[in-house]
Amino acid sequence: MPKEISFIVVVGSLMSGLGKGITSSSIGRILQGHGIKVVPIKFDGYLNVDCGTMNPFRHGEVFVLDDGTECDMDLGTYERFLNFDLKNENSMTGGKLFRHVIDKERKGGYLGYDVQIVPHLTNEIKKWVKKVGEDRDADVVLVEVGGTVGDLENGYFLEAMRQLALEEKVAFVQVTYVPTLDAVGEQKTKPTQHATRLLASLGIQPDVIVCRETEKLKAEARKKISMFCNVREEAIIDDADLATVYELPEQFEKQGLGKLLMDKLDLKSKGKDMAEWGKLVERIGKPRQELTIGITGKYTALKDSYVSIKEALVHAGAKLGCRATIKWIETTDIEDGKLKADDALAGCDGIIVPGGFGARGTEGKIECIRHARYHGLPYLGLCFGMQLAVVEYARNVCSLKDANSTEINEKTPHPVIDLLPEQKTVIDKGATMRLGGQDVEIKEGTIAHKIYGSVLVRERFRHRYEVNPDYIERIEAGGLVFSGRAPKSQIMQVMELPSHKFFMGTQFHPELSSRLERPHPLFVAFLEAAMKK
Ligand code: GLN
């Protein structure tokens, strides 16, 4: 008999930005803690097929899965909490769904019928969520519905979830916001009452209501929500502000959320515990050393653009017993002469130049890299940050005047960074970069080798440009070492400067595979160097 799969559907109400992804991930993590096999799906209503063409300034970081899927940053949260690799099927978008239905219609998949949102699209959704559960041999499929109740974009998806509950065991979790009015200091529940009513009008009654709030629910507010939203008091869960998001699973567990959901879905705890997780969370809260890490970028106005880097620093910090506070550095100000790199980096124990695209701010970044190299400041360059470190080295050490990446200046006399050969004929923008997990051969005896303790590793990529093979010899003759390469091609994937305390760059994004329970060794080594500064 096939295994019975049940479903938890997490729906947001009232407004976005309530941390629905973190709530869902925490629910997943507590169930895992009970030995229950969970697989997540994030639904996003937009008509983009994936996030690859979105501006991180508008939408937050583009996360990349091992299979090359460019997706919503919530998938990153799931991987960080649940500690296993997700796949394309775990990210469902309006674009993918409609494309699937339209392609199927053209092939005659609905021959004779007029194809409709209900039942054809909703059937495809139900099929999809069930299949993911089967493929992954899951006990529970955790479905997070992007957007908020009442949006046009996710209406058909909620309809599919309503229908799913007729066929399968489903628990609905509504995430809501309970504001406190400053003037009277009173928690207001009326917005939540209206939101639940809106959800009920779609045929969905929440089993659990998770309340985002600045302080824990007072008895009065809890009573009202219970009474008017038709949910038992013990199923109203607090989600007040926490020092670290990784505390949330324990906070939920303390309130009995795991048991509540397991009871609803007839699941039994297999009694695995979360002691290790708890220890790590404790270490985040009690660092022995405080550090300041500079991060450059043109998206510095929107911290969500670099969420994986922020989290990778937290993971490495938990391992080492330090806390890295980030100092965001707007490199356009350095480029425009409004700010000096020396001043911008004053007080920093290390600097990261993250991934990026386009010319704006790059000269400012290069100036920061020069400062780091010159002053022995630990440096970690991620993708674009590695490419720009090579540009800086070529210009200032290898005397290749005006060296550059052709992404920034097509007419540079020394194109030390250039388009990957296979990219030269690419026209489409969606999913056409060199994407996802690739092998990296690590050169024995290098710093990278010492850090990884291995000669072959797998890392995640997202780029179109590379170190120009024509310049490798010249740059290495100048002292920079390419310590990680693609196995069967000339692509340089790790760079290091042996004479420096820590000056490394990676063509890949190590931040994408760092997890609380598995911090990335490069981030650990970088912070270790920063601690010694
Ligand atoms: N723009 C660079 C490239 O396409 C770097 C990309 C990145 O940082 N992700 O190669």
pLDDT tens, 318-363? 999 999 999 999 999 999 999 999 999 999 999 999 999 999 999 9
- Give the closest residue (by CA) to ligand 1 atom 6: 463
Q: How many angstroms separate the Cα of 22 from the Cα of each of 43, 88, 201, 239, 323? A: 15, 20, 27, 11, 21
CA nearest 231: which of 259, 249, 252, 211?
Answer: 211
What is the percent of the chain where pLDDT is above 90? 90
> Which of 70, 429, 462, 466 for a ligand 1 pocket mutation test, highest count of atoms within 8 Å of Cβ?
462
Residue 299 in contact with ligand 1 by CB distance below 6 A: no
Q: Is 462 in the pocket of ligand 1 (CB under 6 A)?
A: yes
Helix (H) or strand (E) holding 381: strand 379-382
Per-residue pLDDT at 380: 98
407 CB less than 6 Å from ligand 1? yes
Question: Of all residues in the chain, what percent are helix, strand and coil, respectively (each to 5)?
Answer: 40, 25, 35
Would the CB of 355 count as within 6 Å of ligand 1?
A: yes
The pLDDT value given to residue 300: 62
Whole-number pLDDT of residue 301:
65
Of all atoms in ligand 1, which is nearest to the CA of residue 466?
10
Residues annotated as part of the active site: 383, 509, 511
Q: How many Å lie between the centroid of ligand 1 and the Cα of residue 466?
A: 8
Helix crossing, 219-229 with 190-201: angle to 10°? 20
Q: Which residue has a Cα nearest atom 7 of ligand 1?
A: 355
Res 302: pLDDT:
67
pLDDT tens sequence across 307-317 = 999 999 999 99
pTM to 2 decimal places: 0.95
In this prediction, residues 225-242 reach a mean pLDDT of: 96
356 lines ligand 1 (CB under 6 A): yes
Asked whether 357 lines ligand 1 (CB < 6 A), one says yes
Phi then psi for residue 29, to 5 deg, are: -65, -40
Query: Does the pLDDT at position 497 exceed 80?
Result: yes
Range scoring the smallest mean pLDDT among 44-53, 258-267, 377-386: 44-53
In angstroms, the CA 397 to CA 324 distance is 31
Hey, which of 463, 467, 468, 491 would you mutate to test ligand 1's pocket, going by the most ligand atoms within 8 Å of its Cβ?
Answer: 463
User: 512 CA distance to ligand 1 centroid (A)?
Assistant: 15
Residue linked to tokens 């729906």: 11
- Cβ burial of 241 (10 Å; 0-12, 13-18, 19+) is exposed
Burial class (CB within 10 angstroms; exposed 0-12, middle 13-18, buried 19+) of 14:
buried
